[in-house]
C-alpha cells in the first residue's frame, strides 16, 4: 500500500476532503473504501465517547468513529445528512462519521506542507500534512494515529 502512495507522489496525490464542523479535513483516496449515509449504530459498552458504535456493512461489523469527537471538537449529533467514510487502516476497516464530503482533490507536491507546530496539543499528531490551496487549508488525517488501538497501547 505504501508503495502505491509513493508512486502517486510523482504525479500528485488524490484526497477525499470532507467537513467536520467548520473545518475541512481529508484522507488519502487510496485508503478510502466507500462513502455511505448514516445508519443507526449499535452502541458499544466500555468504549470511548468517540466510538459511536458498530453498524452492519454487508455482514461486516464496522465500528464508527465520530471524527469530531476524536479530534476534540465536540460530539456530533448524527443525522440523515451525516456521512460515513469507510477507510482501511492496515488490516482494519473503520467508518469515520463526518458532516459532509466536500471535494476530491488532486494535489501536487508543492501544495503539501508539513503540519505547523501550532501547539503541543495532541490533535496535531493526528495530522500527516496540510494541503494549502488558495484560501483553503485542509489537514490530512493520520489514520494510523486516530485508530483506537494506538491509544490503547499508549494508555
Binding site for other proteins (CB under 8 A): 40-49, 51, 53-56, 59-63, 92-94, 148-149, 152, 155
Residues 6+ apart with CB under 8 A from 154: none
CB of 29 to other proteins, least distance (A): 20
Nearest to 17 by CA among 80, 106, 91, 124: 106
Q: Give whichever of 21 and 53 is closer to other proteins, judged by the CB atom.
A: 53
Tell me the C-alpha to C-alpha distance, in Å, between residue 86 and each of 34, 58, 78, 117, 154. Answer: 5, 13, 16, 29, 25
Q: Give whichever of 7 and 40 is closer to other proteins, judged by the CB atom.
A: 40
Q: Give whichever of 20 and 94 is closer to other proteins, judged by the CB atom.
A: 94
CB of 150 to other proteins, least distance (A): 11
Dist CA 73 CA 50 (whole Å) = 11
CB of 49 to other proteins, least distance (A): 7
Q: Give whichever of 20 and 86 is closer to other proteins, judged by the CB atom.
A: 86
CB of 61 to other proteins, least distance (A): 5
CB of 151 to other proteins, least distance (A): 8
Dist CA 65 CA 25 (whole Å) = 15
Please give the distance of CA 11 from its chain centroid, rounded to a whole number.
23
Q: Give whichever of 39 and 102 is closer to other proteins, judged by the CB atom.
A: 39
Residues 6+ apart with CB under 8 A from 24: 17, 18, 102, 103, 136, 137, 138, 139
Amino acid at each position: 500500500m505504501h508503495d502505491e502512495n509513493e508512486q502517486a507522489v510523482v504525479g500528485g496525490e488524490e484526497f477525499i476532503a470532507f467537513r467536520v464542523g467548520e473545518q475541512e479535513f481529508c484522507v488519502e483516496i487510496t485508503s478510502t473504501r466507500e462513502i455511505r449515509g448514516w445508519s443507526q449504530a449499535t452502541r458499544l459498552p466500555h468504549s470511548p465517547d468517540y466510538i459511536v458504535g458498530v453498524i452492519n456493512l454487508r455482514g461486516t461489523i464496522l465500528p464508527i468513529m465520530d471524527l469530531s469527537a476524536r479530534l476534540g471538537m465536540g460530539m456530533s449529533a448524527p443525522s440523515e445528512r451525516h456521512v460515513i467514510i469507510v477507510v482501511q487502516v492496515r488490516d482494519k476497516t473503520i467508518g469515520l462519521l463526518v458532516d459532509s464530503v466536500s471535494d476530491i482533490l488532486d494535489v501536487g507536491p508543492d501544495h503539501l506542507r508539513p503540519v505547523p507546530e501550532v501547539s503541543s496539543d495532541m490533535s496535531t499528531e493526528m495530522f500527516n500534512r496540510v494541503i494549502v490551496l488558495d484560501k483553503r487549508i485542509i489537514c490530512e488525517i493520520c489514520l494510523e494515529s486516530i485508530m483506537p488501538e494506538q491509544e490503547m497501547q499508549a494508555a
